[in-house]
């Protein structure tokens, strides 16, 4: 074999190994979307926690941008060459084009206890309407005729690759990353108006997500993150993702047996104890209240409660 052929084979092998690595490993980046509602632009967070404008690289953060290949291409862009976003722009949901919102109920041992329900033997699955999506700092609107508005701080999975009938060992190859979700809930609608949870989970602004989409490999241990919430500065929830009944691998694999998970689908994974409905007496949200929530490594949300017009 001559030198030219040998070099060609080495180059081909390097490409093959690169492609294989891209299918397993995702670059460690933090993505964000900023701008007015309906006019959000893509951004990336630099080492100084500044937003850099990504519009020269991608048009937006959509399901098509969630593959490992695209995420790695974004990461290869010299971040110092991207313009810094000045001022304090509105932060939107960290991706658009979300196909469905799946949620898991009673997935923390202590939350199931405070709600006086038996621990589920399989993940308890419900859906939230995509029209409930909003940004992490946008107001939460209390619906008309609402009397039991409640908060739930949750870890949210963002699917990056189509998942159908996958094993637990395959799960992380299908996850693009993670974000924070506020599973805003109207308990009277949820329990007293018939049907399933969906009616109490789907009003406009009942699904704030963000501020960031943090790629999966940026989190060392997704099952060991602090998760919390505050109402008007008072700590209400303080838990850990270690306390989940069903972990991330179990949730995604389980769901994939019953529905196809597509890129851009998101999964709310449950909330720890401390919700208003579990207090004695119950303490619900009202217009004028402020809710803050966060997860270590994923940022913080904050919303004001306002009345429906």
263/143 same-domain check: yes
108/231 same-domain check: yes
Looking at the chain, the whole-number percentage of residues with pLDDT higher than 90 is 87
* Structural domain boundaries, residue 67: 3-81
Q: Which two tokens stand for residue 80?
A: 């110092």
Cβ-contact 124, 289 below 8 angstroms:
no
CATH code: domain of residue 129: 3.90.850.10
Total number of domains in the chain: 2
pLDDT confidence band for 114 (50 / 70 / 90): confident
Strands of 153-159's sheet in order across: 51-53, 41-45, 30-34, 213-215, 175-182, 153-159, 266-268, 101-105, 124-128
77/105 same-domain check: no
DSSP letters for 215-238: EGGG-S-TTS-EEEEEETTEEEEE
Last residue of a domain, one of 30, 52, 81: 81
7/123 same-domain check: no
Last residue of a domain, one of 48, 81, 114: 81
Average pLDDT in the 287-304 region? 98
140/270 same-domain check: yes
Asked whether residue 93 is domain-assigned, the answer is no
Classify strands 290-295 and 226-231 as parallel, antiparallel or unpaired: antiparallel
Cα separation, 272 vs 236, in Å, equals 10
Asked whether residue 253 is domain-assigned, the answer is yes
177/253 same-domain check: yes
Last residue of a domain, one of 81, 111, 143: 81
Average pLDDT in the 258-280 region? 97
68/108 same-domain check: no
Question: Model's pTM, two decimal places?
Answer: 0.91
Residues counted in the chain:
309
Q: Is pLDDT above 70 for 4? A: no
Cα separation, 184 vs 285, in Å, equals 10
pLDDT single digits (tens) 207-250: 999 999 999 999 999 999 999 999 999 999 999 999 999 999 99
Average pLDDT in the 69-98 region? 97
The alpha-helical segments, DSSP class H, found in the chain are 3-24, 68-75, 109-114, 187-192, 248-256
Instruction: Tally the C-alpha atoms within 13 A of residue 205's C-alpha that lie toward its C-beta.
Output: 19
169/237 same-domain check: yes
Q: Is pLDDT above 50 for 6? A: no
47/111 same-domain check: no
pLDDT confidence band for 23 (50 / 70 / 90): very low
Interior angle at CA 272, CA 171 and CA 230, nearest 5: 120
Average pLDDT in the 164-191 region? 97
137/245 same-domain check: yes
34/123 same-domain check: no
Q: Which two tokens stand for residue 265?
A: 């689908």
13/126 same-domain check: no
Q: Is pLDDT above 50 for 162? A: yes
Cα separation, 77 vs 61, in Å, equals 16
Q: Is pLDDT above 70 for 268? A: yes
């Amino acid at each position: 074999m001559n030198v030219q052929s040998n070099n060609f084979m080495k180059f081909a092998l390097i490409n093959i190994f690169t492609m294989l690595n891209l299918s397993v490993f995702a670059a460690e980046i933090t993505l964000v979307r900023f701008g007015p509602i309906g006019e959000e632009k893509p951004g990336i967070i630099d080492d100084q926690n500044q937003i850099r404008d990504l519009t020269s690289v991608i048009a937006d953060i959509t399901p098509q941008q969630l593959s490992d290949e695209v995420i790695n291409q974004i990461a290869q862009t010299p971040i110092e060459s991207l313009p810094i976003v000045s001022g304090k722009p509105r932060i939107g949901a960290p991706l658009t084009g979300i196909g469905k919102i799946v949620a898991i109920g009673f997935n923390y041992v202590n939350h199931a206890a405070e709600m006086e329900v038996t621990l589920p033997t399989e993940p308890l699955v419900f859906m939230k309407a995509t029209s409930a999506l909003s940004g992490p700092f946008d107001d939460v609107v209390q619906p008309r005729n609402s009397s039991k508005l409640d908060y739930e701080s949750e870890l949210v999975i963002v699917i990056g690759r189509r998942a159908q009938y996958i094993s637990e060992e395959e799960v992380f190859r299908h996850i693009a990353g993670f974000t924070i979700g506020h599973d805003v809930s109207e308990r009277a609608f949820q329990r007293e108006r018939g049907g399933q949870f969906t009616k109490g989970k789907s009003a406009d602004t009942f699904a704030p997500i963000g501020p960031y989409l943090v790629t999966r490999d940026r989190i060392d241990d997704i099952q060991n993150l602090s998760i919390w919430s505050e109402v008007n500065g008072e700590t209400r929830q303080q838990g850990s993702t270690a306390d989940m009944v069903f972990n991330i691998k179990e949730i995604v694999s389980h769901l994939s047996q019953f529905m196809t998970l597509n890129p851009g689908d998101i999964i709310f994974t449950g909330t720890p104890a401390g919700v208003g409905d579990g207090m004695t007496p119950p303490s619900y949200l009202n217009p004028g209240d402020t809710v803050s929530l966060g997860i270590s490594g994923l940022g913080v949300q904050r919303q004001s409660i306002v009345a429906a017009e």
